[in-house]
Chain A
Amino acid sequence: MEKVGIVGVGQTKYERKKEDTFAELVFEATTAALADAGAEIGDIDNVVTVSNDFWDGRTISSMAVQDAAGSYNKDVSCVEGDGVFGAMYGMMRALSGSFDTTLVVAHVKGSEGNMNLITNAMFDPIYQRQIGIDATSSAALQARRYMEKTGATEEDFARVSVKNHSNGVNNPLAQIRKKITIDDVMKSRKISEPLKLFDCSPITDGAAAIVISNAKGVKRFKKDPIWILGASHLSDSYTLGYRDLAYPRALEAASKKAYAMAGITDPLKQLDVAELADAYSYMELLWYEGLGLSPKGKGAELIRSGATGMDGELPVNPSGGLLSAHPVLVAGLARIIEVTLQLRGEAGDRQIKGASKALAHGINGPCGQAHGVFVLGS
C-alpha cells in the first residue's frame, strides 16, 4: 500500500475516575502526541475525533472537545466507534490526497455514565433492548457458546486474565496493576455466568491521540514513522443470533486482507507483538482464532501453551490489555500506541526485544460485531 505511518502518540494515565473534563483529557492527549512527534498544531492538516453520544451524555459529542483537539479552522469529523476505526478513517484521509497529516483523538469517561444502560442501548429497541441485555450479558452468551463449540473452559478464560493482569503490572499507565492467580479469577464474584469479575474489563476514564502522516508529510515531524503495512476492517451481522457467536468470521476476513497487504503468511511466527481487544477474557481466545494465530476452535490451546505470554513466540497484550484498563473507544488507539512504542523500543519494562512487526486490533458492536486490524512495522 502507499506509504502512511504513525509519527506521534500520546495518552493520559488510565484511571477509574479522573478529575478532568472531556476537553482536559483531550488536550492532554493531543499535546502529548504533538510533543512526541516534535510537532505543533499547525503541522496537522485535519482532525478526527472519536466519541460516542451515549457515553458522553450529549448529542454531537465531538463538539465538546473541538477546541481541545486543536481543530479550529481545520477540517474535522467524528468517528463514533472504537479508536481503531477512527485511526482507519484518519489513515484514509492522509491517503486521500486532500490532507497529508491527521490527528486522531479519542476520549471517554466511563465513570460518569452507566456502562450497563449505555451498552443496553446499542441493541435493537424492538426485539432486544427490552430484554435488558448489555455488553456483559451478551458477552456471557458468547463465552458459553464458545465453550460449547470448542471445549474451552472457564480456567482457560482465567489464564487470559492472569496473563494480561501480570503484563499490566509493567505498564505505568494501566488502571489495574495487580498480579492475580487462576484461583482469584475463578473465585471472583459472578457477574453474568460464566463471566466473573476478573473476566471483565474495568470501567475507565482516559484519552489517547495519534498523529498519522503520508510519505509527503513525514518531513514535518522529528520521529521516525512507524509504517502501516496493512489495514482492514469488516463487519458481521448486527443482530445477535444471526451470526455464529463462537467464531469471528469478520475478523478472519479482515486479518487475511491486512496480512496480504503486509506480506504476512504465518502471523504467529512473523509478528513480534500483538495488542487485541480483550474486553472480556474469553474474547482473546476467539480473536486468536480469527487472526489465524491458532487453528479454528483451538484458541484455548494457544493460551495454555504459553505462546502468547511475554516470553512466548508472540506476546499478546504486553500493555495489560483492556482487562487492565478499558477506556471504551479510546482502547483501540491505546492498542495502536502500545505497539508503536514496542516497535520504537520505547516500551520500558514491558519491551519486547527487537520487535519489528506488530498487530493492533479493535472491535465495535456487541460481541465483536465489527473488527479492525492494523499491521505495523518499524
Chain B
Amino acid sequence: MDVENIYYHGRIKVPYKWYVGETGSRFLVELRDNKELWGIQCPKCNKVFLPPSKTCWECFTPTEKWVKLKNAGVVESYTIAHYSEGVAPRDVPIIYGLIKIDGADGSLIHFIGDIDPDKVSVGMRVKAVFAEERTGSILDIKHFAPSDE
C-alpha cells in the first residue's frame, strides 16, 4: 500500500535554572565583581581545579583552599569551528581553546578572540578579556586574547 509519510516537526524547549552550588557561586561572583579567576585546591594531591570542583575527582576528597590565579595562561589545544547552531554568542569561524591557566592543573574550555584564526598556535600565551556587562556566568570572560604577559 502506498502511503504518504507524515513527519511531525517539534522542538523541545524547557526552561531550567540550575543552582551552581556554593563553590561555583564563589567562582562566578569573583569573575563578575572582581574580574578574577579563582581555583580550588585539593588538600590531598594539591591539584588546583578550574572550573572549580567541590570534590577532587581523583582523591575523592572535598576541596578546601581557594587560590587566586592569574588571568592568563597558555593554549594547550584549539580548534577552528566552521559551523554554529547558535549556542555560542559568536560568528563563525569560532575558535575554541583549551586554556591552561597559570597555577591551575586542569584546563578551561573557552573562546579565543582578537586574533586571526590562522595565527593561533599551541603554546601561545593568552589572557582573559572580560565582558563589559557581567552577569555571573562563564561568559563573563568574553574570550582569551593573545598576550605578552
Contacts and interface: CB of A to CB of B under 8 A. Distances in A.
A276 interface: no
Interface string B63-83: 000000000000011111111
**Contact-residue bracket for chain B:** 35 or more
A193 to B, nearest CB: 4
B46 interface: no
Contacts of B83: 116, 191-192
B124 interface: no
Interface string B93-128: 010111000000011111100000000001000000
Interface stretch (A125-133, A159-167, A226-234): A125-133
B49 interface: yes
**Contact-residue bracket for chain A:** 35 or more
B10 A132 contact: no
A35 interface: no
Contacts, number: 115
A271 interface: no
Given A117-B87, A120-B85, A237-B57, A133 B77 contact: no
B88 interface: yes
Given A132-B88, A132-B94, 18 more contacts: A57-B10, A126-B18, A128-B109, A130-B139, A131-B109, A131-B110, A131-B138, A133-B96, A140-B96, A141-B98, A144-B79, A192-B81, A193-B79, A193-B80, A193-B82, A237-B57, A241-B107, A241-B108
- Minimum-distance CB pairs A-B, first 6: A132-B88, A140-B79, A132-B87, A241-B107, A145-B77, A127-B51
Interface of A: 19, 57, 114, 116-117, 120, 124-134, 136-138, 140-145, 148, 189-195, 237-242, 245
